[in-house]
Amino acid sequence: MAKALLGHLDHDARTSAVLAADNRRLRRRVADLESVVLRLQAENDRLAAAAREEQLPVEDLQPA
């Protein structure tokens, strides 16, 4: 009876290997996405600074 119960449980060694591989793949993907976020934040900061520098003084915005 014990063998039947233990056989019923899923103790496939491949399952843990597959989970470990998926875990590595997902960690790598998260690291890639974090680097993209950092790059985009830096680009956004650069563009925001450039936009602030190009703003015209208030008196130049008045109608002629």
- How far apart are the C-alpha atoms of 42 and 35, rounded to whole Å? 11
Looking at the predicted structure, is the pLDDT value of residue 29 above 70? yes
Q: What is the pTM of this model?
A: 0.58
- How far apart are the C-alpha atoms of 42 and 46, rounded to whole Å? 6
Answer whether residue 59 is part of any domain. Answer: no
Which residues form the domain of 16?
Answer: 12-53
Instruction: State mean pLDDT over 21-42.
Output: 97
- How far apart are the C-alpha atoms of 26 and 30, rounded to whole Å? 6
Answer whether residue 3 is part of any domain. Answer: no
- How far apart are the C-alpha atoms of 43 and 41, rounded to whole Å? 5
Answer whether residue 38 is part of any domain. Answer: yes
Answer whether residue 60 is part of any domain. Answer: no
For the chain, the domain total comes to 1
Q: Pull the structure tokens for residue 53.
A: 């520098």
Residue with tokens 């993209």: 36
Better pLDDT: 43 or 6: 43
Answer whether residue 28 is part of any domain. Answer: yes
Q: Hey, how many other C-beta atoms are within 10 angstroms of the C-beta on 26?
A: 10
